[in-house]
Amino acid sequence: MFNLFMHALEKIKNYLRHVPPLYRFLCRCYDVLIPVSRKAYYYWVLFYYSLNRWAAPPPVYYLRYVRSNNPAGRPGHPPRGNIEIKKRADGARNFSDYTEAYFLEGTVRFENYDYFQGRVRKEDMGSAALYGFGVGSFKQAQQIFPETTFEDQVRTVLQHAARKPRYMADVGCGLGALAALYLACGVKVDAVDPSPASQAQVTKTLETFTKKTVPSYGGNIRFLNMTLFKYLSEVQNSPDFPDTWIFVESVEHIPRHETLALARLLKTRKDCRLIITNAVDLHPIHPDNTGWNHITRVDDAFYAELTQMATTKVLQAGSHLVLEF
């Protein structure tokens, strides 16, 4: 209902663009109503989840698009031309829209249901975790990854490990749930995200999920508030180089040339695994024309370009891609 309301407002706004007084009035209403309604809905979701730890998730978006094993044909944006990236006055990319509100309040995110329960989301994040530990199919990952507790998830990942990652780069780590899972599995983690709000969220997530303080992990966890391109420049010549690179719901936020630069680097470093996941049926992903959110088209052609640089394609299932270099 909330999404339909927003969609209707957008259509009305577009229709009234040629009537400037009405358009300006509607824009003012829009700027007031949308943040208020989003915040109200966010607190309703928190209240709903707090009633019962095992409460069924809200039925429409979450059941259809997140918890279903059957691709449901997600609504998406039509293909567009080149997107102009939003930049600051100094020419650097502007990440100011990636706020705490974006991660937790800015949109109705039923995909955060598991996060509110203190555990890792199954479809994209749980699969990515298992791919890093050697599970070789989406179906198997969905069958074995539990939706009970974080501790059960850690045990399951370790029990099914056919590969033991040593050092993982969580690129576009967001709230840090995947970083917490890998850290609890004994893997060194770099949580990389250029968002100004991400570090506080990652720290909170790590300590909430693992029940330990960040300092207690010593050098096994680093948060790096930087772009992928800058991170590559820091680690490319390091003898201690990540052997597992994971993008969960992040590759579409990163300029295409940066991801391709990573693939070229992995090709030279060798013995590395690249994992890209989204909700499995969210493929392809088109730029959303904001200039800061979805800026890269993620489709089979992009995956084919990455695959050409790899030694082995472990799997490709919808939006899920696992490559060995």
Mean pLDDT of 73-85: 57
Q: For 247-256, how does the pLDDT look when each residue is reduced to its tens digit (9 = 90+)?
A: 999 999 999 9
- Listed residue (34, 32, 28) closest to 5, CA to CA: 34
Q: Which residue has the higher pLDDT, 275 or 16?
A: 275
Cα-Cα-Cα-Cα dihedral sign, residues 303, 243, 134, 185: negative
Strand partners, 168: 189, 244
Contact 285, 230 (CB under 8 A): no
Q: CA angle 202-206-208, nearest 5°?
A: 115
Domain co-membership, 257 together with 134: yes
- Identify the pLDDT of residue 66: 42
Please report, rounded to a whole number, the percentage of residues in the chain having pLDDT higher than 90.
58
Mean pLDDT of 292-304: 93
Domain co-membership, 105 together with 224: yes
Domain co-membership, 240 together with 131: yes
Laid out side by side, the sheet with 188-192 consists of 221-224, 188-192, 167-171, 244-248, 273-277, 320-324, 312-317
Q: Between the CA atoms of 269, 273, 278 and 283, what dihedral angle is there, to the nearest 10 degrees? A: 80
Two tokens, residue 170 = 């969580």
Please report, rounded to a whole number, the percentage of residues in the chain having pLDDT higher than 70.
74
Domain co-membership, 22 together with 146: no
Residue 314 domain flag: yes
Q: Between the CA atoms of 85, 293, 228 and 105, what dihedral angle is there, to the nearest 10 degrees? A: 140
Residue 255 domain flag: yes
Q: Is the pLDDT of residue 52 over 60?
A: no
Two tokens, residue 290 = 């904001």
Angle between helices 177-184 and 198-210 in degrees, nearest 10: 40
Q: What is the phi-psi region of residue 298: left when phi exceeds 0, alpha when psi lies from -120 to 50, beta otherwise?
A: beta
Q: CA angle 175-180-183, nearest 5°?
A: 145
Q: Is the pLDDT of residue 12 over 80?
A: no
Contact 230, 262 (CB under 8 A): no
Domain co-membership, 170 together with 38: no
- Identify the pLDDT of residue 84: 82
- Identify the pLDDT of residue 11: 66
User: Domain of 43?
Assistant: 2-55
Which CATH number belongs to the domain containing residue 315 in this structure? 3.40.50.150
- Identify the pLDDT of residue 117: 83
- Identify the pLDDT of residue 102: 81
Hey, is 194 helix, strand or coil?
coil
Number of domains in the chain: 2
Domain co-membership, 45 together with 153: no
Domain co-membership, 166 together with 25: no
Mean pLDDT of 271-293: 89
Q: What is the phi-psi region of residue 134: left when phi exceeds 0, alpha when psi lies from -120 to 50, beta otherwise?
A: left
Mean pLDDT of 300-311: 97
Question: What amino acid occupies position 123?
Answer: E
Mean pLDDT of 281-308: 91
Mean pLDDT of the chain: 83
- Identify the pLDDT of residue 295: 93
pLDDT class of 70 with cuts at 50, 70, 90: very low
> Counting beta carbons within 10 angstroms of the beta carbon of residue 190, is it exposed (0 to 12), middle (13 to 18) or buried (19 or more)?
buried
Residue with tokens 């693992």: 210
* DSSP state letters, 30-90: HHHHHHHHHHHHHHHHHHHHHH-TTPPPPTTHIIIIIS-SS------PPP-SPPPPPB-TT
Two tokens, residue 76 = 């998406």
Model pTM score: 0.78
Residue 193 domain flag: yes
Domain co-membership, 164 together with 265: yes
Domain co-membership, 186 together with 298: yes
Residue 79 domain flag: no
Q: Is the pLDDT of residue 16 over 80?
A: no
Residue 77 domain flag: no
Residue 232 domain flag: yes
Q: CA angle 61-284-171, nearest 5°?
A: 85
Domain co-membership, 219 together with 285: yes
Domain co-membership, 30 together with 124: no
> Worst-scoring range by mean pLDDT, 44-58, 120-134, 218-232, 237-251?
44-58
Domain co-membership, 300 together with 158: yes
Q: Is the pLDDT of residue 54 over 60?
A: no
What does the DSSP 8-state code read for residue 285?
B
Residue 229 domain flag: yes
Residue 293 domain flag: yes
Q: Is the pLDDT of residue 188 over 60?
A: yes
- Identify the pLDDT of residue 67: 41
- Identify the pLDDT of residue 22: 73
Q: For 146-185, how does the pLDDT look when each residue is reduced to its tens digit (9 = 90+)?
A: 988 999 999 999 999 999 999 999 999 999 999 999 999 9
Q: Is the pLDDT of residue 304 over 50?
A: yes
pLDDT class of 87 with cuts at 50, 70, 90: very high
Mean pLDDT of 99-113: 67
Say if residue 57 is preceded by a cis peptide, omega within 30 of 0: no
